[in-house]
Amino acid sequence: MIRPMTFQDLQEVVLLSGQLGYPLDMHALGARFQRLRADENRVLLVFEDPGNGVVGWVHAHIEEGLLLSPRTEIRALIVGEEHRRKGIGKALVRSVEAWTKEIGMESVFLRTNESREGAHQFYKNIGYKKSKTSYLFTKDI
């Protein structure tokens, strides 16, 4: 079952995120979640499996700028290791696509680390295509 993420889901979100190498602090996550869920231009969904609890989640938002028309960006998609290849990721992405249509937009994009070859194949299999390669630059301030 896919449903909106709640505060009660955050502990499972932390565990799932850790499986992909994204350690999260519960306190910081709670504050971030409170801000994000109040933004109507974002969607935070979980896939809840009866008997197993939350086994996957997705975060998407409207990306808007001067150069491009508004579109949806999938910021994160995580499915627990033991629940992959069961259609959960695909169902979560399809929910984001449906939300995108509901709010009147026409495209969805995402970024994925070049080392995540399994993710690349997953997205290709559900109809996404690689549209560019870029570099990410950061600076701590």
Domain borders along the chain are 2-125
Low-confidence ranges of the chain (pLDDT < 50): none
22 Rama class: left (phi>0) / alpha (psi -120 to 50) / beta: beta
Closest C-alpha to 34, from 44, 20, 19: 44
Of the CA atoms within 13 Å of residue 42, those in its CB half-sphere come to: 14
Fold classification of 2-125 (topology level): Aminopeptidase (3.40.630)
Q: Above pLDDT 70, what percent of the chain?
A: 100
What is the predicted pLDDT for the residue at 117? 85
